[in-house]
Structure 1
Amino acid sequence: MPTRAELVEHIVRLLDVRLLDPLEILLEGDDAVDPLRRLMRIRAGRWADLMRGDDDRAAAGAVLRLIATLYPSDRAFDPPLDWWRTPLGRVVARRVGHPSAEAVSLATAGAMLGITRQGVHDLVRRGKLPRHPDGGVPSAAIRDRLRLSDEREQGDSNDQ
């Protein structure tokens, strides 16, 4: 899981690029955007805390609201594979899996897990990840595997 600081900075950058910079252009550099930038940084910290916190429902809500706001479209959310390596992508994978797909391709599963497509194929072949009846891997199985990995890492750090 990314650190709070990594997640906050990534969210702030996305909000600047996708929302605040266009608003500043539309308003012709109006200083009214500066207070919004400060507010977005504060809110990004709160969202990061929710996404990293223990409340699954609150985390999922924050994730889904942010995705819907930052990536509006008439089509289902389908980010490029490298998006899953970003701080937000890593948190999304751990908290909700893929937000708009019940099953994902082996390549997407690999990106979400941080391994190769072949690595996912091997996990499926060995029964460590289920295959979805329609092909690919269930998004929930990827989420669960990432959570289990996080729990193991926390257990290891508590043992020391």
Structure 2
Amino acid sequence: MTRDDPLVEQIVRLLDVRLLDPLEVLLEGDDAVDALRRLVRLRARGWASTLRDGDDTAATMASARLIATLYPGDGPFDPPAAWWGSPLGRVVARRVGHPWFESISYATAGAMLGITRQGVHDLVKRGRLPRHPDGGVPSVAVRDRLRSAPSDSSDTSDSPGDSDDQ
């Protein structure tokens, strides 16, 4: 079986670990879980396509469903900085911004942009990113900056847009 792109692989791996492996344990290795694994891989390709190329509403809804399923919790979704560097984190940042916060810290913005917190501070200081009235920067401004930057179709890199941003 050929390997899918990194975004599909991340989605499949997370669903496998968080949902299908526990289900396999509960069902004592039932063959139905193998069928679910095939279905998850098929659907993951569709979700990845929607996240990359779907309209904004479809991409937002797909990211919300995946995040709610993969990262359940009582509080708002606030992943570690490293998550924004993953294939899923990069595509969510570019298509949605931070899905739950209007204002994000310089550190989170830096993680989303692939630069340092100081790099974000410099962008704000130079007027290249706005400062949010409540502190930090607007999530939509980071999203818009990522959208204006060239990106490759495999979601393996995201340039923040200016070579002097880092």
**TM-score normalised according to structure 2 size:** 0.86
Question: Comparing 7-16 with 51-60, which one deviates more in the overlay?
Answer: 51-60
Give, in whole Å, the separation in 2 of the partners of 1:70 and 1:132: 29
Gaps of 5+ in 1: 155-160
Structure with greater helix share of residues: 1
1:8 paired with 2:8, answer yes
Q: How many residues align?
A: 150
State the shift of 1:96 in Å. Answer: 0.6
Match of 2:138 in 1: 138
Q: Name the SS of the counterpart of 2:128 in structure 1.
A: coil
1:54 shift after superposition: 4.4
Equivalences for residues 1-160 of structure 1 within 5 A = 5-150=5-150
d(CA) in 2 for partners of 1:122, 1:23: 48
CA distance in 2, matches of 1:10, 1:70: 11
Following the alignment from structure 2 to structure 1, what is the Cα–Cα distance between the partners of residues 54 and 67? Answer: 20
TM-score (norm 1): 0.90
Flag as ranges the 4+ runs of structure 1 deviating above 2 A: none
Q: Identity of counterpart residues, as a percentage? A: 72
Q: Which amino acid aligns with 1:130?
A: P
For 2:163, the equivalent position in structure 1 comes to: none
Deviation at 1:150, TM superposition (A): 3.0
